[in-house]
Amino acid sequence: MPRFLEQHHRMRAVVIAAACFLIPHARACGPDFPNAYLAEGSVSLLSAPEGYFAAEIEKIAPRKKAAAADSGAALVIAANKAKRENELTETGVLRIELARRGYAQERIDALAGELESARAVIFAKDWASPPVFSGDMPAEFALYLNGAFAYWKGDHETADNRWKTLLALPADERRHYTVNAAYMLGRLCVPDAQGEGIPERQSMPVEAMREMLHGVKWFQQTRDAAEAGFDDISDLAQASLGWEARAHFFNGYSTEAIHLYLRQHAAGDRRGAVLSLRAVARDAFESAESEDGAKHLRQLARDEKSRRVLTLYLLARFGLFPWFDDEAGKKLDRQSRIWAGILDEAELRDVPDTDRLAWLAYQAGYFDLAAQWLKSASASSVPANWIRAKLALRSGDAARAGGLLEKVTSSPELTGGARPVAWADLGRVRMGAGKYAGALDAFLRGGHWQDCAYIAERVLVLDELVAFVDKHCPQQTGTDERQFFSVAEEREEQDEKALRNELRHLLARRLARANKPEDARAYFPEKLRQIYAAYVDDVRAGFNGERAPGERAKAFWNAAASLHENGMALLGTELAPDYSIWGGNFEWSPIAGARRDKLRREGGLGAPTADELQRVEAHAVPRKRFHYRYRAADLGWWAASLMPNDSDETARMLNTAGGWIKKRDPGEANRFYRALVIRCPNTVLGKQAAARNWFPE
C-alpha cells in the first residue's frame, strides 16, 4: 500500500477507537464555572483522589530514550528521519534508488511516471486498469504497488502473493518495502474496523478471530526488519505493536495485549495506546460479576503490568461515563469492590504498586484493606500519602492529615491534574484548623481563584491580608490584564504569578472601599494606580471649600466620570455583589452562602468554624451590586449642585449621572430627573425630559 495510504490507515484506526471507546461529557449550556472547593462538604474532602489514566500509564511505560547506535544503525535512523521530515513519497524514494543504480535521468523520469500512474489508479479506484510496469522497474516497487492495488480492490489473495514474493527477494533488492510488506501481510490477517465501529469480540466469528493470530508473526517480522535497518518511513514498527495487540485482545489474551499496548505507548504512540488500554480494561470488567469474568480477572491480577493497568482504569474515573449517569458510576463502584476483593485474595503485599492498591481499596470503601496495603507502600509515594491523609481525616486526626498533604503537595511526583486537587484538599484542611493565611496560600498554589477570593475578601482582616500580600505577592510589571486559568491545567510559574498579582489588585480594591486611599494606591497595577490617584485627587479637590465652585464642580465631575468608567477595577468586589471575577457578567459564587447555611448545618470536616463565620459577618461587603455606579452618580450630583440653574452643562451632568443608574434603579435615578426639569427647565435636555416625563433618550 502506498505510504500515504498507510498513514491514513493508522489515523483512521485511532479516530474509530476514540469514537468507540470514549464517552463524552455532556455540558449544560452557559458558562463553565471552575470548582469552588470551599462550597463542598465533607463527602468531597473524604472522597478518593481522581486518577489521571494517561499520566499514570506514562509512569508504567515512559517513552524510551533512543539507545546509542553504531555508525551503521545511526545512518539508517538519520535516513529514515530525513525521509519523514521531507515527506518523501514512493516516487521520491524511487528516484533516489534509480539514481543510486546509475539510471539515466530520462529513464528515471519515465519510471517515476509509471509509479505516479499506479498511485493515481489506486486513488481513483480504477480497478479495471491494473498498474503496468516496465521490466527495468525495481522489483520491490512493482510488487508492492501491485499488492496495494489488489488489496484496495479487495483481492487479498493476490495482495498476499505479491507481498510474499517481495519478501523472497534478496535483502539488498528490498531495502525500501520489506517493512511495509511484512506489516501489510499482518494487516491482511487483522482487518480494519468495519463500518463506523469496532466489532465486539462476542459478535465476531471464531474463525475470524483465530485468523487474526496468523498476523502476529508478520507484525513481529515488521519490527525485526525495521531493527535490521530496512526503511520504516511510516513508523510501521510502532504501529505493528497495536495491531498485534488487537489480535491477542480479540482472542481473549488480554495480558499479551496489555503488554504490547504498553510497548506501543513507550514507542511514542501515546494516544492510541491509552485508548486501547482503556478498552481492554473496560472489556475485562464488563463481565466482572460473572464466574468466567471473575476467573479472567484473577488471571490478570497475577500479572504485574495487567494488574496495574486495570487498577488505574478504575481509579481514573474522569471520562469513563457522563457526569450525570448515576448507574454507570454505581457500576464502576461495584467493579472497584470486586477488583479490590480479587487483589486481596491474591495476598499481594511486597509489590511495587501497593500504593495504587491502597488507593483502589479506599475508593471501594475497604478502609482496613487500604491501611493494610499502605503498610508496605513507600513513605514518599504521592498516592500513598494522599490516602494516608484521607484515612487520618476519617479518624479525626486533621493535624496528621495536614502534614501528609503538605508532603503530597511538595512532592515533584505530583503533576498534571492531580496538583490543583491536592492543594485544594490541603486548603480545606487548613481552613478547618483556622489557618486562614495557610489556606489562602494553598488555594493560590492550586490555582483556585474563587476560593482565594473568598478568604481574602471575607475571612482575613485587612492587616492579615496586607501582611500576606507583602510576603507572598511581590509587585510585578506588565500585569494590567486579568488572567484566569482552568483548574484542570497544571500550574506553571507564570500562572501562579498572575494569580498573586490578582490578589494584590483585590487588596487594593478592598483598601479603597475601606477609605484607605494612601495604602490602596501601592497595590494597584501600574496603569490603574495612576487612574486611582487622579480619582482621589479629584474627590479631594471637590470637597475643598477653599476652591471656586466651578473648580470644585469640575473636579467632582472628573471623579464621577472616572469612577463610572473604571469602577469595577477601582472599587469592585471580586465575589458578591459585583463579581469582578466574572467581569461583572454573572452573579454566581456559591461559597459564602454554602458555608453560612448548608455546610454549617451539616457540620463535619467541611464546615466553617465559628471564628470564620464571625469574620465573614464582620467583613461585610457593599449591599448593592455595582455600588460604585451609585457612588459615581453621587459625585455627579455634587458636581451639578455647584453649577448654576438653567445651564446646559448642569443639565448634561444631571442627565448623564442619572442615566448611569436609571435602568438598574429608577427610584434612585428619579431625583436626577426631577432636578433636571426643575433646575433646568429652559434647556434642551430639560424640555425633552419634561415632555417625556423621564430622561431624554
Q: What residues form DSSP beta bridges with 194?
A: 197
Q: Would you say the C-alpha torsion 61, 63, 69, 73 has a positive or negative sign?
A: positive
| Strand ranges (E), 468-544 | none
Q: Tell me which residue has cell 513513605.
A: 379
Concatenate the DSSP letters of all residues of 190-204 into one string.
SPPPBTTBPPPGGGS
CB 143 within 8 A of CB 115: no
Residue 580 is classified by DSSP as: G
**Predicted pLDDT at 90:** 79
For residue 583, give the nearest of 570, 566, 568 by alpha carbon. 568
- CA distances to 347, 369, 396, 507, 605 from 301, rounded to whole Å, are 11, 16, 34, 55, 36
Q: How far apart are CA 424 and CA 422, in angstroms?
A: 5
**Predicted pLDDT at 6:** 47
Q: How many other C-beta atoms can be found within 10 angstroms of the C-beta atom of residue 384?
A: 26
Residues 332-343: tens digit of each pLDDT: 889 999 999 999
Confidence of residue 490 (pLDDT cuts 50, 70, 90): very low
Is residue 406 scored above 80 in pLDDT? yes
**Predicted pLDDT at 327:** 80
Confidence of residue 320 (pLDDT cuts 50, 70, 90): low
Confidence of residue 166 (pLDDT cuts 50, 70, 90): very high
Residue 457 is classified by DSSP as: I
CB 222 within 8 A of CB 237: yes
What interhelical angle do 304-315 and 53-60 show, nearest 10? 160
How wide is the angle at C-alpha 617 spanned by C-alphas 613 and 620, nearest 5°?
140
Residues 468-489: tens digit of each pLDDT: 999 999 987 555 555 444 333 3
**Predicted pLDDT at 319:** 53
**Predicted pLDDT at 55:** 85
Q: How far apart are CA 339 and CA 315, in angstroms?
A: 11
Q: Kindly state the greatest CA–CA separation across the chain.
A: 108
More confidently predicted of 615 and 14: 615
Residues 532-576: tens digit of each pLDDT: 999 999 999 999 999 999 999 999 999 999 999 999 999 999 999
**Predicted pLDDT at 65:** 67
**Predicted pLDDT at 87:** 55
SS3 content of the chain, % helix, strand, coil (to 5): 65, 0, 35
Cβ neighbours for 347, distance < 8 A, ≥ 6 positions apart: none
- Among the residue ranges 64-68, 413-417, 464-468, the one predicted with the least confidence is 64-68
Q: What is the mean pLDDT of the chain?
A: 88
Rounded to an integer, the average pLDDT of 116-142 is: 93
The one-letter code for the residue type at 431 is M
Rounded to an integer, the average pLDDT of 149-175 is: 96
Q: How far apart are CA 166 and CA 449, in angstroms?
A: 63
